[in-house]
């Protein structure tokens, strides 16, 4: 994968070498979750659809082996409790002192722009006290347009920002104004790193309106 994508990395030295860390960034295409673990010295865990590891036959076993190997934790995200399950899984990973990767937009960008972040990222940070390291994927949408099909060889870039601390809001993880402020601060850093145009609506709403 390093030969295929030739990742250029900036700022990875800012990721704390131990303890819980949240990596929060933009989401352009499917392979973002393969690139992120590739450029980090520490193992990165993230949430993925359980269908990626429940397939049958040889193909299903190979997919399950690959996705669990790159740090994906399968969660059933359908239904009313899917978001809660994802949040609790992230909390468990962080309380174990590990690195948890998350895309605050909640889904891939439909057009390459950066969309409004969902406040689950803020709840995780405030519940666990973990610092948030913002990051930006650049170029992954060019090597896998639309997030479908096999990616083609090409150069990608990953930029990491300085860790953001939100311990000043300890005990306020149910205050919706605090959650929005924390989320917007993270997304502002992601926008600065990525250079993307920002759209103040949720990406899921933009997709449903298309």
12 versus 74: the higher-pLDDT residue is 12
Give the pLDDT of residue 139: 93
Instruction: Give pTM, 2 decimals.
Output: 0.89
Mean pLDDT (the chain) is: 89
Q: Using 50, 70 and 90 to split pLDDT, how confident is the model at 148?
A: confident
- What is the distance between the alpha carbons of residues 74 and 72, in angstroms, rounded to a whole number? 6
Overall average pLDDT of the 168-191 stretch: 96
Share of the chain above pLDDT 70, in %: 89
Token couple for 104: 């605050």
- pLDDT tens for 83-128 read 788 888 899 999 999 999 999 999 999 999 999 999 999 999 999 9
Residue 136: pLDDT above 70?
yes
* Cβ contact 25:135 at 8 Å: yes
Closest CA to 32 of 84, 71, 74: 71
């Amino acid at each position: 994968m390093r030969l295929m994508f030739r990742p250029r990395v900036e700022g990875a030295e800012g990721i704390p070498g131990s303890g819980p860390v949240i990596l929060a960034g933009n989401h352009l295409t499917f392979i973002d979750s393969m690139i992120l673990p590739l450029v980090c010295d520490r193992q990165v865990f993230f949430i993925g659809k359980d269908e990626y590891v429940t397939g049958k036959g040889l193909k299903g076993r190979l997919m399950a082996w690959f996705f669990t190997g790159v740090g994906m934790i399968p969660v059933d995200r359908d239904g009313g409790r899917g978001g809660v399950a994802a949040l609790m899984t992230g909390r468990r990973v962080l309380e174990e002192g590990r690195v948890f990767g998350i895309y605050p937009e909640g889904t891939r960008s439909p057009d390459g722009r950066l969309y409004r972040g969902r406040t689950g990222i803020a709840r995780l940070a405030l519940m666990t006290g973990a610092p948030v390291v913002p990051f930006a994927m650049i170029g992954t949408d060019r090597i896998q347009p639309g997030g479908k099909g096999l990616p083609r060889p090409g150069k990608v870039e990953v930029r990491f920002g300085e860790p953001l601390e939100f311990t000043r809001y300890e005990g306020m993880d149910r205050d919706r104004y605090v959650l929005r402020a924390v989320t917007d601060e993270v997304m502002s850093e992601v926008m600065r790193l990525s250079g993307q145009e920002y759209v103040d609506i949720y990406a899921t709403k933009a997709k449903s309106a298309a």
